[in-house]
Structure 1
């Protein structure tokens, strides 16, 4: 495998050299590596098996202030590909912001972040895990049908070579198990799921545990009631709290700020969230789901407090986005095929002091949100309106399931009111604990 990596580095280097020979002032080449296999089952039978493996090459060239990118699944002729890219660049519009990363920001030492597990999981093991998950879920009393189970194993990686001296690579493994089942019948059916996703195979939760949790989650949703329209305190389960953090991440992405499509675009160094809220982005976390020793441009990055006790301190920035804003990259460049954007890495909303149980006791009556759906989030204005289901809270305790309601507010107000609980699970690329948010409008019957 290491020999293959060196071969890819050599081929990326040949692309960069060919681009310079063809007339490019600067260039970089990326190889995105991926391999995956998965097995899906339903009702005790295998429904599908899939396997794939690929190395995708991308070349980006700069001619003055003009830039062009080209990609290919295989490289038979580096010279021809480079000449075509340079020809495209010469007729492209000028872009004074799009450049290679500053040379002094390039990563010179690449830390070992322990991202790759050599375990080769055979297809029959994936099949057995998927079947065991589904069996465990279907054995829960009240479960009536299955939407299926899936087990997968794979790996990905990146090779990056630039014309100003950077050369690096890394690999990341990934293993997952998931199952979704149905309880009830006819118009009274409910569906839920559970899953586990890890970098290392041995860290996955057992198929039996995942299946049992999926079944129990589903059965708990049976017999939902409607509640009247009112203003409530919402308590977001961590599964949906991670989505709320995702909205914050989008709002502080430098690309949205530069294009004036973020409602927080004028809020740098101002309060954007409750003082109990601190959001940290950690690219060099050992075994982190989104860790990377360098970003999509070869830049070394460090941990940043994006929001510090409610105060906004940073945007997510790549080189070009930073230049557009008159700033410098902070190593959040993300390569996506032939383009470079900005993104978070291991993003965490730090926990608070109270347990979810104590939070519910403190509010007495409220809505515990376990699922949201619909596209009712406007990142330009912050308007938020989502279909939701979950459980009603009475006397500080979960009372009964609720469905067919809408919860609404404005993200600006939600961030200022949200309070984190102490139940953070950090093992997600976007990790958040239970969140309590006052003043939500619930539209019911």
Structure 2
């Protein structure tokens, strides 16, 4: 852990205390990135970025305030502390603010295998991008490239508070991706593929990424409109996670406390279909959202959000837990210079028995969604509609690509009948297989 981050946190906390803060927490973040983009075999851009920020929150009675700076000089840190203490003294009261008690804090954080020691270089990133693009352009029918890229990123975080907590962690990321185009008889289609990982050795082969992008593009050629109907709809894994994203927002303690969630009365009730389980594991080795403690220094642990279709918990930080008369679930997210937010970690929809092809066969005839556009969602009622393009299948077999379609339904009804596949998209912290909704309203031509 970089010593300058820890030193900045200590400086902010000591100055805040000296200026009259009754409580305080501080977080410092250091980020670096290197990316390369190519198109049609030529290097287009190389970008290298470095940024860092130091944030301080001060509590005086039931008042709080916060701010941040990118200047780590002692004078700037001292000035930040003075400004935030003055802001806290003038702030309105917040009855729910406060730090955890010392006996509640996380102890002995574990190594979560988030850091790759491999040093990035421009040449190797360029080679990965070029290889993916060349593989795509070699596929008959692909007429152009939207560009390919490869990137590396690293971040380090250190958090401390006046209750005695000190802790930090760091992580790396690697990625390769591209988009491809096909054109025939004035009809154009575009699609993409990508991969990302904490460790460069775990990335899929670049040529395989390119070929997959090409295959997906060609599968969409000749798309036609679809007559309006009601039919089964399969959301492919790389768009299915958005359905679960609405669920995660709806069980946020902040939404529940404000009464603006369509799930506000559903705790410990059947929400999803029997057999449907969703887990959340902040301690997953190498996970995209893994962290050894939450944004308030509290311990974290794996838990089920949904078990056999039954909603098990809200996502709570200290503030929302106090409002609801509950205990924090360790889901506070770090917000340097502000009040802690709320976030899930590594969420996983447990797999069903069928892959996406098996879901098609089970559904018989219906729509397989490969892309969503401009979703409309009402968090109070759960009403949902979204523009989509995809593949129409009959008797379990794809027969033609389709576009300019809207699908709609209510999330309570969708969740109650949702069927999980077993094919995961591993690019994000929300691991979700393809999902089958046995029937949805489809608006077409």
* C-alpha displacement of 1:426: 5.5
User: Which residue of structure 1 aligns with residue 98 of structure 2?
Assistant: 99
Task: Give TM-score scaled by structure 1 length.
Answer: 0.97
Aligned 8 A contact 2:56 2:336 in 1: no
Q: Which of 30, 41, 53 is residue 44 of structure 1 equivalent to?
A: 41
Match of residue 259 from structure 2: 260
**Cα distance in 2 between the residues matched to 1:162 and 1:193:** 44
**Structure 1 runs of 4+ off > 4 angstroms?**
none
In 2, Cα distance between the equivalents of 1:317 and 1:139?
50
Provide the residue aligned with 1:436 in structure 2: 436
Per-residue Cα deviation, 1:291-344 (whole angstroms, up to 9, x for no partner): 001111111111110111111111111111211222111111112342311011
Distance (Å, rounded) in 2 between the aligned partners of 1:196 and 1:212 = 13
Structure 2 residue matching 1:373: 3-state secondary structure:
strand
- For 2:241 and 2:441, the matched residues in 1 are separated by 20
- What residue in structure 1 maps to residue 56 of structure 2? 59
CA distance in 2, matches of 1:168, 1:295: 10
Looking at structure 2, the residues matched to 181 and 424 of structure 1 have their Cα atoms a distance apart, in angstroms, of 23
The residue that corresponds to 1:423 in the other structure is: 423
Say if 1:134 and 1:148, in contact at 8 Å, map to a contact too: yes
The answer as to 2:352 corresponding to 1:352 is: yes
Please name the residue that 1:273 is paired with: 272
Matched with 1:249 is 248
**1:331 paired residue number:** 330
> Which moved further from structure 2: 339-348 or 98-107?
98-107
Please name the residue that 1:11 is paired with: 8
SS of 1:362's partner is: helix
Question: How many residues in Structure 1 have an aligned counterpart in Structure 2?
Answer: 442
**How far did 1:187 drift?**
4.4
1:32 shift after superposition: 1.2
Q: Offset at 1:185?
A: 4.7
For residues 13 and 253 of structure 2, the distance between their equivalents in structure 1, rounded to whole angstroms, comes to 28
Aligned pairs for 1:163-242 within 5 A: 163-185=162-184, 187-242=186-241
Give how far 1:139 is off.
Answer: 1.3
Q: Root-mean-square deviation (CA), in Å?
A: 1.3
Q: Is the 8 A contact 2:8 2:54 kept in 1?
A: no
Q: How does 1:66-145 map to 2 (within 5 A)?
A: 66-76=63-73, 77=75, 78-145=77-144
Pairing 1:312–2:317 present:
no
**1:438, 1:257 → 2: CA distance?**
29
Match of 1:407 in 2: 407
Unaligned runs of 5+ in 2: none
Partner Cα distance (1:48, 1:427) in 2: 24
Q: Name the SS for the 1:256 alignment partner.
A: helix
Q: Distance in 2 between matches of 1:37 and 1:425?
A: 24
In the other structure, the counterpart of 1:28 is 25
Residue of structure 2 equivalent to 1:373: 373
Q: Is the 8 A contact 1:276 1:420 kept in 2?
A: no
Q: CA deviation at 1:289?
A: 1.2
Taking the aligned partners of 1:186 and 1:52, their CA distance within structure 2 comes to 43
Distance 1:338 1:139 in 2: 50
State the Cα distance separating 1:363 from its structure 2 match: 2.0
Change over 3 Å in CA distance of 1:105–1:426 after alignment to 2? farther
TM-score normalized by the length of structure 2: 0.97
